[in-house]
Amino acid sequence: MNTLDIAMAAVLRQAHFHFGGIALALLAFTATGHADGWRTTGWLYAQGANMDGYTVINGNRTDVNVSASELFDHLDMAGMMAVRSETDRFALTLNAVFTGLGADGAAGNGNFYDLDVTQDMVELAWSWRLNERHELFVGGRYQSLSVDLSIKRPDGTSGATDQTKSLFDPVIGARGAWPIGQAWTLIARADIGGFGVGSDFTWSTMAVLDWSLSRNFGLVFGYRALDTDYSQGSGDERFEFDMRVAGPLLGLRYNFSP
């Protein structure tokens, strides 16, 4: 087996692990949706976003600012989904985002860089519903960060380095849903987390308009942001990832419950 085959096998094993876990979670949520009193809803969505921040790998800092119009030119892979089961008192929500992208350009010190970033995120949250419209939640956010950096210097020399990190962050947040007429619902959600457990600090926010097309189907329009500030090590072993991905999203909703 050659090097390319080994690399492809590793990628496939990782993909099977991620999507296998999500499939099991979906089965659990669907089963919950059939239990008395529980209602289950799923979303599939895509996002056009700005990517803004920087990364430091082995002492090499690279600033990244990819606009929404540029992001799709650099996007290698993206998949986003959410599943929520709820009763009148509680709710359980699963969010997952799988993104791979590349960026290239000139750094302030004259170096040219080529950066590839894979950021996978899975989040599970348990909510206490204060009333029909408002709730508080606690949960955990797992992220897998993989960063590959190639640098070409003005003197003609070049170098390459990479880092892969896995981190788990506790999160706390709030969610609200407000009906607007018969067909529309405004949904807003925000959380903070990390607190030095995994990342130094992380936050996310989302606001969407849900348009009901039928009893089971709906379209979702909105805006979402995820910010991660993570650092580890010192000197030449220093790794930092301080990045925000934010922008509009479009999704499809389906109600599993009858």
- pLDDT tens digits for range 82-114: 999 999 999 999 999 877 766 666 666 666 777
Q: Which residues on adjacent β-strands are paired with residue 258? A: none
Predicted local distance difference test score (pLDDT) of residue 103: 67
Q: Mean pLDDT throughout 62-71?
A: 63
With a cut of 90, say whether residue 33 has pLDDT above it: no
If one counts every other C-beta atom within 10 angstroms of the C-beta of residue 40, the result is: 21
Q: Are 243 and 27 in contact (CB under 8 A)?
A: no
pTM (two decimals) = 0.78
With a cut of 50, say whether residue 192 has pLDDT above it: yes
Q: Are 234 and 247 in contact (CB under 8 A)?
A: no
With a cut of 90, say whether residue 38 has pLDDT above it: no
Dihedral sign from CA coordinates of 150, 154, 155, 156: positive
- Asked which of 17-26, 101-110, 219-228, 249-258 is least confident by mean pLDDT, the reply is 17-26
With a cut of 70, say whether residue 6 has pLDDT above it: no
How far apart (Å, rounded) are the C-alpha atoms in residues 140 and 130?
21
32 vs 97, more confident: 97
Q: Which pLDDT band holds residue 195 (cuts at 50, 70, 90)?
A: very high
